[in-house]
Structure formats: structure tokens, C-alpha cells
Structure 1
Amino acid sequence: MRYGVLVGLLLSSSAVMAEEIGEVSTVFKWLGPNDKVVVEAFDDPKVQGVTCYLSRAKTGGIKGGLGLAEDRSEASIACRQVGPIQIVEPLKEGEEVFKQRTSLVFKSMQVVRFHDRKRNALVYLVYSDRVIEGSPQNSITAIPIMPWPKAEAQ
């Protein structure tokens, strides 16, 4: 039974894949890749016209190179309207938009979405959790749902 849960945790991943935009090295490592900050982008799968940019720490060294290191919990997020906003499916409050494993088994970073109907805005929260104990480290961003200017005919 426990083996099945472990395999499920290892294989579970969000359908949304992040595209790496760039990275900067923060700590030189003699063996294996350097520690770095990675900037990634992903589109909200249920809201067309929204792209989120995520920066997060990635641990290097031998363990990091082999995928055995645990990445730090700190992350930052900025979501922007990049086209006309169209909600393609009903939204659930606190719905997971993106999830990425940050350790071999027990830790992940997640982005969840809230719809602030009163202010007509979408709110995105990034945080890290662990099977036993999560982290209060988080970052938040909001996008007002605004009309997108139409392109003028040339």
C-alpha cells in the first residue's frame, strides 16, 4: 500500500509544463551544476490570455545534478494579461494551476488561483508544501480582468 502511494507521488505532475525563460548562477559548485535561480513561464490552462512568470531557487552540486537535492521553499510569481482574457472552464477557488516537484519525493511547489469576483480580478499564490511540514514562504500576484485593446487594421 505505501509503495503505491510513493509511486503515485513520484509520477504525479501537473499537466501544465513550465517553459524556462532564463537562469542566473548564485553559488559556484566544484562538482555538479551551480545553485541557481530559474525563471519559468506557464500559461493558465483555464484562463486564456494569462501567463505567469515564476522565479525559484534550484539546488546544484552532485545531489542537485542527480535530482536528489531538496530545493529551497522561496519563490516569486508575477502573472500578466498577455491577450484577451477568456475563462474557458468554470474556475474553482484555490484550484491548482501549476505544480512542480522540488525534492525527490516529499516536497513540491504549487501555484493556486482565486477569482476575486467583487474586484473582477484573478489572484495567484505560489507556496511550497511538504508531506509532513510545509513552509509559510509564499508570493502573490493579481490581475484585473480588463478588456484587451483591439489591434488596428493597417
Structure 2
Amino acid sequence: MQSTANTVSAYLEEIPEERKIAFSKLRETILENIPKGFVEQISYGMIGYVVPHSIYPNGYHCEPKLPLPFIAISSQKNFIALYHMGIYAKPELLNWLNSEYPKHSKQKLDMGKSCIRFKKIDQIPFDLIAELVQKISVKEWISSYESSLNK
């Protein structure tokens, strides 16, 4: 479910009332913990945290006009989603998440390649997300991204 919002504030206005508090807390958790250099903006119809062209002029290889994506959050029909490209690109980060998640949530980890789905919004493990967000710097993300392109 992609939004047509052009700004973060417009996206936030579209969030269903029953999700506003949890979604805002998720966003604040990311903003408070994401390493310096990532920028918040609308990306692919979601709130994204990207490496801006001022840091990485090449942009995203699929669409170089767009900045390099890293994390995104969205309100989908049946869940809140956190997309973290690092858990897709770095197997050791995915292994860490798989081992840590049960320590922070009674819910089973529900995820795709880079998407963590939170169906029970009162059980989002914000402390774990704070830790996850801190694990990759802009420099490390660019290096990992470029390594994957060269394979």
C-alpha cells in the first residue's frame, strides 16, 4: 500500500488513528538512533531513511535519480512495516536479529527479505529496533551496497 503523500508530515496525517501512537514512536526511535548522515524523506511511497546524493552522488542503481535507500517504515493494510536493507544485505545482521528478537518480543518474528511486519502494534520491540538502527553507519552501508553491486 503506497502512499501518494509528498512529505513526511502528509504521510503521518494518513496514518489510521489507532496506529498513530505506535507509528510515531517507531519513527522517533529511528530518528533518535539512526547514525549521522542518513536523511528522512518520502521514498517509494513510505517514510524512508536514505543516503542523500550529497554523500553518495551515484544514487540507487535501479534509479540513479533517487538517493540510496536504507530503512523505510510504512503503514500497510494489516500491519506496520519496517524495511531494513541491511538485514537483507548482511547475513550477520539477519542472524543477530533472529537471535535477539525472541528476547524482546513474545511474538514470532514475521518478516520477508528486508521487511519486518508488526501486526500487534502494542508489541513492537522499540528497544531492539533502536539497537538495529544503530548497527550500520552511512559509510558501512555504502561499502556494503557497492560490494553487492560488484558481485
Which interval holds the TM-score relative to the shorter structure?
under 0.3
What TM-score, normalized by structure 1, do the two folds share? Answer: 0.25
Higher relative contact order (CA 8 A, sep 6+): 2
What TM-score, normalized by structure 2, do the two folds share? Answer: 0.25
The structure whose residues are more often helix, as a share, is 2
The structure whose residues are more often strand, as a share, is 1
